[in-house]
Copies of this chain bind each other. A is one copy, B any other.
C-alpha cells in the first residue's frame, strides 16, 4: 500500500497472513477483512486455536509425525499393522495416504528428500531411526511412498541400500495412469511405465 490506511496492527495481520501458502498480498487483505468482520465467529477462535497449537503441537520422536501427543496417535494406535512401515517425505504425504485410507500400517516421516542442489544430505533426514525401526523383527515390509521426482527416487535408492542388511522387503508405489486420468494428457514416461507394469484384466 502506498499510504497506510489502517492501523499498524491491521497491516501486520495482513503481512503475516500473506506469508501463508496459497495467499498473496491481495487475498491476505481480503482474508484480514473477512476475519475482522467475523470477529466472534472466526478471528477470536482462530487466534486461540493458533496459540493452543503453538503450545501443544510436537513432533513424534518415534515416526516424525506432528501431533499433540508424543508418541503420536498413529504410533499409539494398537489396531495398526506393525509389520508394514510406510516411508514418506513429509507429514502432508502421511495425511494424504491416511485420507486415501488404503492401508492401516505404521509410518515413518523422513522430513525431506536427499537433494545435493539444496544441500540436503543423509544426516539431515530422519534415517537412523528408520534403520532402527526396520531392524525390529516384527517389521516385514518397508513401503517407500516417495515422490516420483529425481530427488525422491534418489532417496528411495539410498534408503534401499541402507536397509539392505535388514530382513525386510523394500517395495515402492506403482507407477501408472492416475485414476480418472485421460491417456491423451499423460506424459510419455508415465505411459511407458503403465505399459511395462500392466496387470491382468
Contacts and interface: CB of A to CB of B under 8 A. Distances in A.
A92 B57 CA distance: 35
Main secondary structure of the interface of A (DSSP, over half): helix
Contacts of A72: 6
A30 B66 contact: no
A199 interface: no
A73 B43 CA distance: 22
A27 B16 contact: no
Contacts of A129: none
Interface in A1-18: 1-10, 12-13, 16-17
Interface of A: 1-10, 12-13, 16-17, 19-23, 27, 29-36, 39, 42-54, 56-57, 65-69, 72-74, 90-92, 94-95, 98-99, 101
14 contacts: A2-B98, A3-B98, A5-B65, A6-B68, A9-B49, A12-B49, A13-B50, A21-B31, A23-B31, A29-B92, A32-B53, A33-B90, A35-B53, A47-B47
A6 to B, nearest CB: 5
A66 B19 contact: no
Given A22-B23, A30-B21, A66-B6, A50 B50 contact: yes
Contact of A7 (B45, B54, B69): B69
Contact of A36 (B12, B43, B53): B53
Nearest to A44: B54
A35 B12 contact: no
A159 B92 CA distance: 52
A45 B140 CA distance: 45
Contact of A9 (B6, B10, B30, B56): B56
Nearest to A20: B31
A54 B47 contact: yes
A5 to B, nearest CB: 4
B3 A68 contact: no
